[in-house]
Amino acid sequence: MAMLLMSSCVSTKKIVYFQDSDEVFKQGQQIMQQYEMRLKPADQVYIKITCSEPELLSIFAQDVVMGTAGGGTSTSSSYLNNAGNMSNAYGYTVDNDGYVALPAVGRVNVAGCTMSEAGQRIEKSIIDANLIKDPKVTVLLLNARVAVLGAVKSPQVVSLTSERNTILDVLSRCGDIGDTGLRQKISLYREENGERKKYSIDLTDCDVFQNPAYYVQQNDMIYVEPNKSQSVRSSAFYTFLNAGSSIIGVISTIVSIVVLVTR
């Protein structure tokens, strides 16, 4: 029991976030702005096109969703009807080669682009095809999400509601790190240029704001490592100890009753 009690004691040095920040932030620090998400294969995007002559937009309503109730539904009308609820909007999927296939325009390479850059590429493709002279294209990512596992209070897949999302935002959505979580040992796994990379994050260090993984990206996976006390509690020995304590308690009670009765 003494061993278990000692294993559950945690120094404040291991749980306090952003230590020594008073000293570091005596002078203001420039904010790292590398938070824009870049498009990857399998991303689903919402694309809205406007121009000064709305009648020209009819060429983009020629693709039809088959099998819908009441017949086919054009892609463009689906966008407009769901503009207020992006999670339900019908979107285009970036294929494995990094392209989106648009009606009348054809395939446009958007892999590695920010949403703004993807919009500019689509605008150029529309102009080059002599379809519209002044298109304005809005591109939004629909299916951005991050998986959070390990010693957090509520492990889950977190949907990202904007491009600027920090690891603190994501962990807050999961109820923060649990009592058994190691704030110095957080791993973030990210897919970049066909490779999976690992970033180590220490939330007790105020330099975390400069970490390249401070701003999360779509499809990131975050794992919070548990401390040793959790390992002890999850072990067969701890389970046996709990069960053994209960059995001993029952036996002791029975013996006490027998002794009292036989006196």
- Three-state secondary structure of the chain: CHHHHHHCCCCHHHCCCCECHHHHCCCCCCCCCCCCCCCCCCCEEEEEEECCCHHHHHHHHCCEECCCCCCCEEHHHHHHHCCCCHHHCCCEECCCCCEEEECCCEEEECCCCCHHHHHHHHHHHHHHCCCCCCCEEEEEECCCEEEEEECECCCEEEECCCCCCEHHHHHHHCCCECCCEEEEEEEEEEEECCEEEEEEECCCEHHHHHCCCCECCCCCEEEEEECHHHHHHCCHHHHHHHHHHHHHHHHHHHHHHHHHHHC
Residues of the chain with CATH 3.30.1950.10: 44-141
Phi/psi at 149 (5° precision): -130, 170
C-alpha angle 127-141-63 in degrees, rounded to nearest 5: 55
CATH 3.10.560.10 fits 144-237, yes or no: yes
pLDDT at site 253? 78
Which residue numbers in the chain have pLDDT < 50?
7, 68-89, 230, 232, 234-235, 238
pTM of the model: 0.70
pLDDT at site 68? 46
Residues of the chain with CATH 3.10.560.10: 144-237
Q: How many of the other CB atoms lie within 10 Å of CB of 124?
A: 13
pLDDT at site 128? 95
Q: How many of the other CB atoms lie within 10 Å of CB of 39?
A: 22
Structurally, at CATH architecture level, domain 44-141 sits in 2-Layer Sandwich (3.30)
Residues 94, 43 contacting (CB under 8 angstroms): yes
Output b/e per residue, 40-59; b: 16+ Cβ within 10 A.
beebbbbbbbebeeeebbeb
